[in-house]
Structure 1
Amino acid sequence: MDNNIDFIVTWVNGGDPDWLKKKNKYLPVNESNENMNSESRYRDFDIFKFWFRAVEKFAPWVHKIYLITDNQVPDWLDTRNSKLTVIDHRDIMDADWLPTFNSNAIELNAYKIKNLSEKFVLFNDDTILNSYVDKVDFFDENYPKDIYVESPIMATKGSVDHIMVNNVEIINEFFEKKNFYKKNLTKVFNPKIGIKLLRTLALLPSSKFAGFWNSHLPISYNKTTFETVWSNCEGKLVATSKNKFRTAYDVSHWLMRYWQLASGNYHLQNNIGKVYDLSSQNIDEVVTQLQRSHSKIICLNDNDELDDYEGVKGKLVTTLNEKFSEKSKFEL
């Protein structure tokens, strides 16, 4: 069995004048999905080089890293590194769908990367390795590591909740919850899941999947999962791929994760990460987390409520410079 595991990471320099000009050219005049396409979706904290330093330090076993960008390459990145391949949107998406500013569309097509391993982990550029990770943190043989927690979707205006509803609708079309429970009892009702297990228990009477708990952490995927979902749901995936900006009618790569869960194609994952919605109130806790490496992976999630972008950014850059003081082999 091929033991290679690749990392895919998506990145955009939201401050690039050429990119902004292109984005504004295609941005609808009356943006009905404004909150889903706000500045925080594209804002750059200038910490991406630390993502590579962390991978080199804490996951030296990674086979290949694929960086997906829109004709952008950080000026510090050494693209000659044999472990790195820069993927432009046109390498994985039809020309008719481009340009795109829709992360859902990009991530749905990520599996089309040439020579991508069967096992890969999908990162956003705001998720960073915080201490050493092993292959078994992401995969057990060929099975992606994950946890199943059923959780209701609480839709709010401008959120991605409508997209999650679209994902779950497809899952209920192809999978029977009762059969899933019969085949996966020990993985579903496992004490390792902790307090979140109460969510699943509360929704046990429902005959349909009500929704899935999501964490903004890297997700382990089999490439064949993407191929299977595309073969069964091509029309809906193409429709999302054509949307240049996020819409409430999209589906997302979480559909692939839900598919792996509902099919039982996963092994139980330990809690390896922590997610922070960055704010001036929690930045000191984030700094402590980075300094003490309590969690193996952390997400530094930008958001519209961040009230002191420059202050938070400054503390992040200073702390990461201290934690990862040496250049990686991915830097010029």
Structure 2
Amino acid sequence: MAARTAYLQELARADAPAYLTLRDPALNGWPERRGPLAAMATDLLRGRTSVLALEPAAPALSQGCTVEVEFWEEDVEGQLVAPRRNRYTQRLPRERATTTTTVHGVDVPTLPLMAAPTVHECTFPVDVVVTWVDGADPEWNAARAERLAGLTGTATTRESSGQARYLSRDELRYAFRSLHLFAPWVRRIHLVTAGQVPSWLDTSHPAITVVDHRAILPPDALPTFNSHAIESALHRVPDLAEHFVYLNDDFLLGRPLGPEAFFSPAGHTAVWFSPNTIGLDHAPDAPPYLKAAFNNRRLLQDAFGAVLTDNLAHAPYAHRRSVLEEIERRFPAEVAATARAPFRSETDLSLLSSFAQHYGLLIGTAYAAQSERAYVNISNSDLEWQLKKALEREQDFLCLADHHDHALDQDRLDRVLGDFLETYFPVAAPWERRG
């Protein structure tokens, strides 16, 4: 606390970025205040509040991007006394020995005890797998039309094979940016594609691996246009970490998250349920994702005697490679049938977006978790309101869900989405090619 005045005077004189603000949080009866760095630092010289926060001005990345500064008092025995509770200690001898540790490439002094991970942290490597296709590729579309010819039933519905299932609005670029901004702990990102590569992606970057469908699916399953089929083989991605997070290309992280948002320290996987139930499984006109949910339920009920009732949220899916390998060994016929369905079919399992999560809950490798999510339906007429709400940055995850019909005309839709994505994720990732 004796250094508080000098610290604030230095802050007031600092040549800091204009976007940086100073916040005096609500503590010990004081109301929260916030303002420009120099002005707020000068104003706070008149008080003795014990905690300050440096952070970007809203709405730019403020969620989780705060540096807090505490001013510790000294007691009569010369010990430093914390102004609020923390995980380690309320009192600290002034001459306590320190060590140096590295945090995100920066060497910092700390107590030896604090240099080791706690039981609350995940210390294992975590990868990300993202699936994507370029729906505008004429060769790919010709193969899709050829594969679809002569098929009937579920495969021919818009929900199974319509163009909207494959339309790219450059969400992938921003999904990758969200990983760079908000999950720097990810070891490697594996992009699984149909032999296609986004023009902006530098595939030589060491954090990026591009995986062709041919590397993970059998020849008689290709070409495939079925996300369920592709999901069934993601555990075969070469050099994939045991723990990985699977993202559709329209899933984005909404604010800084640690690996503990996806896994327990013991490596169990988080499961986020949707508020929507799957209903009863006797609806012949049900959309393909529900038919897959019905199949999931029948198979798991036969195996465990337990009934699943919920859809999963449209959010990243945490997985363990070993659990997926176990599922394939235990249910080989059903997994093989899913892998070989070129479009969504009557017999599909939704292996990575529902089945594996419920299987994990039943065998004890998964747990039900909570998260804040924004599901943005870009077909709706209130899209601009939805996106404005999302810019408040109060969600862990966003899903920009596309549809076959849109309330906004195409030019306006592209402009609105482009402006939103660039505002939310303005920082280019290091694997983006210049220009």
Provide the TM-score with structure 2 as the length reference. Answer: 0.66
**Percent identity over the alignment?**
26
1:187-236, Cα deviation, whole Å (9 max, x unpaired) = xxxxxxxxxxxxxxxxxxxxxx1522321211111111111110011111
CA-CA distance at 1:255 after TM superposition: 1.4
Question: 1:188: which partner in 2?
Answer: none
Question: 1:20: which partner in 2?
Answer: 141
Which aligned segments of 4 or more residues in structure 1 are displaced greater than 3 angstroms?
147-152, 154-159
Q: Relative to 1, partners in 2 of residues 1:118 and 1:105: Cα closer, same or farther, differing over 3 Å? A: same
Q: Which amino acid aligns with 1:27?
A: L
Q: Distance in 2 between matches of 1:67 and 1:215?
A: 22
Q: Distance in 2 between matches of 1:259 and 1:75?
A: 38
Report if the CA contact (8 A) 1:289-1:295 is conserved: no
Does residue 262 in structure 1 map to residue 387 in structure 2?
A: no
Q: Distance in 2 between matches of 1:24 and 1:58?
A: 39
Report if the CA contact (8 A) 1:122-1:220 is conserved: yes
- What SS class does the counterpart of residue 140 from structure 1 fall into? coil
Q: Relative to 1, partners in 2 of residues 1:309 and 1:232: Cα closer, same or farther, differing over 3 Å? A: farther
2:302 pairs with 155, 167, 173, which one?
Answer: 173
Please list, as runs of the form range in 1=range in 2, the aligned pairs for 1:208-287 lying within 5 A after superposition: 209-253=307-351, 254-287=354-387
Q: Which amino acid aligns with 2:289?
A: V
Q: Distance in 2 between matches of 1:152 and 1:77?
A: 38
2:400 pairs with 300, 314, 317, which one?
Answer: 300
- What SS class does the counterpart of residue 160 from structure 1 fall into? helix
CA-CA distance at 1:77 after TM superposition: 0.4
CA-CA distance at 1:173 after TM superposition: 1.4
Higher share of residues assigned helix: 1
Report if the CA contact (8 A) 1:280-1:307 is conserved: yes
Q: Which amino acid aligns with 1:237?
A: V
Q: Which runs of 5+ in 1 are unaligned?
A: 178-208
Q: Distance in 2 between matches of 1:228 and 1:280?
A: 41
Question: 1:317: which partner in 2?
Answer: 418
Q: Report how many residues are paired.
A: 301
Moved more, 134-143 or 209-218: 209-218
Q: Relative to 1, partners in 2 of residues 1:246 and 1:309: Cα closer, same or farther, differing over 3 Å? A: farther
Q: Distance in 2 between matches of 1:287 and 1:102?
A: 29
Question: 1:199: which partner in 2?
Answer: none
- What SS class does the counterpart of residue 398 from structure 2 fall into? strand
Q: Which amino acid aligns with 2:231?
A: E
Report if the CA contact (8 A) 2:372-2:394 is conserved: no
Provide the TM-score with structure 1 as the length reference. Answer: 0.85
Please list, as runs of the form range in 1=range in 2, the aligned pairs for 1:180-199 lying within 5 A after superposition: none
Higher RCO (CA 8 Å, separation ≥ 6 residues): 1
Q: Which amino acid aligns with 1:153?
A: G
Q: Distance in 2 between matches of 1:158 and 1:269?
A: 27
Q: Which amino acid aligns with 1:134?
A: G
Question: 1:153: which partner in 2?
Answer: 279
Q: Which amino acid aligns with 1:172?
A: Q
Report if the CA contact (8 A) 1:212-1:258 is conserved: no
Q: Distance in 2 between matches of 1:309 and 1:97?
A: 37
1:47-71, Cα deviation, whole Å (9 max, x unpaired) = 3211111110111110110000001
Q: Which runs of 5+ in 2 are unaligned?
A: 1-121
Larger radius of gyration: 2
What value does the CA root-mean-square deviation take over the aligned residues?
1.9
